[in-house]
Chains A and B, each alone.
Chain A
């Protein structure tokens, strides 16, 4: 449905997005994850046709967005990072205007407005000036604007930024519901945000796409690594050289006086060999703990490390 090929954007000599390619299938929710300044907003602006890419192209239902801007833009509902509201207009007027510029008229607008206002929880705010709303409510009005023309594709740039915890849950559920019949791309720099709502995630850092996969596959690929924490009574007896020669041990770090952290790959037999080796050296093993990588660790590893194939 959405196909992004070799998308690159440079501002002067700063590369904001570098050769990014991915596909999104119909009905999928893709999470765009990356730290601040990674290039999420820039990518989304290119997906929605707001800024043209320096290189590469975006096609939606096989139509290039810059060759057929009107057909493509009708299919997209976009919530920019900063909700685009006219502060001198009421919520009702804003929604009405957005509906009109999408070609809707009369009764269609009214029923659609009631529907999206209900979905976004702003039914009681319709007659307020958007300029007087709190940040969270502005965000909801922005979301309602993106939904009013019932688009097949939703592109949401940090949709839950500025919302209170209860509202975050509501909006997440709303996005999941919307994602049943629609294709959704949402961005975030917070991991739980993405793992909660999305089936697939794309991790971007410094403009480079580091990984695109389902959450399960990503944790399988990267989570096979474990860390083992060893506590010993007499660290001076521990022979780290010998320990690191045990097959499966990738790295040893001294954490503090009595604690060592080992990075290992492989099954339980590695653990057995390690404990045997420590006991033999007479260092006085007092504790051994296995830590699996959490999604958070995996995310950090992706954005600090290499690309994942």
Chain B
């Protein structure tokens, strides 16, 4: 395990040297910035309409109207960006045969997976936390509910960690980055919409499917409801995916 830090360093260096991390960050921040801008406009229009109309306004605050939608968009946009961060991780080591170097040095498979996973999560967290300017701006002009914002960021980070674990797994089963990224998107879309758009035949089945979906757990958190069950689900999901990555690397040697 003491080899973990140099390993994470090498992975981070690879991110900073390649354009992909910058492209992902740029696209993500650009899109979210645009969504922020348009939801602020929508918010002002609604505020003008509501003013003096005598309607109920208790749920009408910037956190609910602007922030909640933005948090959801961040999660959804990241489904498409996760594979760009993770596809390279293991597939590229296999393709360029550097896996032979790693596997014949005193590194365990656990260290390899953990190092790659942690590096990707660090990149993800940096990108996600760059959007913190949004609640700060809202707070400056109006006010935000900080507990809600913290629950939402906590949810974003846990959900992102789960998405990245799937990306790592998909990268471990192939030596082709394209295959890894298509697989990642497929699995993530399935786990995002299952129980929602992808429903079951019966209500009972739909509910079970909903419990498995990443989105329903994320939904509670970004709506400001902190529930340990959601956190536990997301963490277990991540653990299983990383465990499967370990198995896949280990069994790849026995072929």
Contact = CB atoms under 8 A, between A and B. Distances in A.
Does B bind A? yes
Contacts of A48: 104
Contacts of A74: 106
B17 interface: yes
A51 B7 CA distance: 22
A50 interface: yes
A14 to B, nearest CB: 12
A49 to B, nearest CB: 6
Nearest to B111: A101
B18 interface: yes
Contact of A52 (B97, B98, B254): B254
Interface stretch (A77-85, A190-198, A285-293): A77-85
Interface string B79-108: 000000000000000001111111111111
A145 interface: yes
For this complex, into which size category does the number of interface residues on chain A fall? 20 to 34
A49 B103 contact: yes
A84 B101 contact: yes
Contact of A102 (B17, B99, B105): B105
Contacts of B98: 84-86
Nearest to B100: A80
A17 B2 CA distance: 36
A97 to B, nearest CB: 5
Contacts, number: 67
A23 interface: no
B100 A101 contact: no
Interface in B138-187: none
B204 interface: no
B104 A73 contact: yes
Contact of B13 (A69, A76, A89, A102): A89
Nearest to A145: B101
Nearest to A155: B104
Contact of A97 (B10, B99, B100, B103): B10
Interface string B108-136: 10000000000000000000000000000
Interface of B: 2-3, 6-7, 10, 13-14, 17-18, 96-108, 253-255
26 contacts: A48-B104, A50-B103, A50-B104, A51-B253, A52-B253, A69-B106, A73-B104, A73-B105, A74-B106, A76-B104, A78-B104, A80-B97, A80-B104, A84-B97, A84-B101, A88-B14, A89-B14, A89-B17, A97-B6, A97-B10, A101-B102, A101-B106, A101-B107, A103-B2, A103-B106, A145-B101
